[in-house]
Amino acid sequence: MGYFQIADIQFSSPVILAPLAGYSDLPFRLLCREYGAALVVSEMISCHGLVYRQKKTISMLNSSSADQPVSFQLFGSDPDVMGEAAAILNEFSPAIIDINMGCPVRKVTKRGAGAALMKDIKLAETILSKVVANSKVPVTVKTRKGIDSSHTTALDFTRMAQDTGASAICIHGRTWVQGFAGLANWNIVAEAKKISTIPVIGNGDISAYDNGLEKIHVTGCDAVMVGRGALGNPWVFNQQGRPAAIKGILSAVKRHIELMAVHLDTTRQLGYIRNHASRYFFDFPGCSKIRQKIHSCQTISELVDFLFSLG
């Protein structure tokens, strides 16, 4: 029996990997799936890049059967282009298509996408309508509490999303103005759940599995989504929790590097691989020296050898 359901898709866990720009690639999604993530979401995919079939954008859709169920997240502000992009996404067999209506990063919002859509719910509604009409799979929406502390939009977006055909909504408890600073407000997640006829997913400040379950219990939301709390911490997706000693985390680091070696260009993306690997080492004696050594490794082989030397 599943914990929760989106449309006809049942999930055996209530913890989801959030879309993380620059991080939620195939190797990281596969690792999180292996550690228990119910659903994994891709990095934000530009609707224009997809429609123009740009090589870099298409490469972000790399997937596999072990990646399922996977949600591909679209962003953009042109309803027709978003609809066309959704139709193209069907070719890549996602389980779900998500629409980003909450990213606060300026390069996204200055084009009227992401969190900027919270200023124009009618445009957001038109975009959602076009995507739903062109998608062969359930469509979800990810948004935020609101624009700032004086302008809460999450409840209006929840009503709009369910009335326009969305199968679920994810609400990040911070405002656009907050970005990623301060604490997430989970009261807004509870309020949205009270009025919603579709599943509500909460997001913000989840760093451990039990922490996620507590948020579900307190707010009544259907699931939680973990973003930055999953970096270097795939244990957030299961009750085992993060190991207390360095030797306990090595299997995850090595597995992550193994997946990156299979799916990435280890020569061109070595800096990215070192960045991921270093995130596992914190709150242990000597971790700063380990991170320094990781960042000094000049090849993937040197990095692997160093990690094996730790135990």
Question: Catalytic amino acids?
Answer: 103
CA–CA separation, 163 and 89 (whole Å):
23
CB 263 within 8 Å of CB 224 = no
Q: Give the rounded distance of the alpha carbon of 291 from its chain centre.
A: 25
What's the sign of the alpha-carbon dihedral 277, 259, 231, 114?
positive
For every residue of 46-105, DSSP letters joined together read EHHHHHTT-HHHHHTT---GGG-SEEEEEE-S-HHHHHHHHHHHGGG--SEEEEE-----
| Distance (Å, whole) CA 190 – CA 195 | 9
Annotate 120-141 with b (16+ C-beta within 10 A) or e (fewer): eeebbbbbbbbbbebbebbbbb
What gap in Å lies between CA 223 and CA 213, rounded to an integer?
A: 8
Those residues whose C-beta lies under 8 Å from the C-beta of residue 185, and which sit 6 or more positions away, are: 145, 173, 174, 204
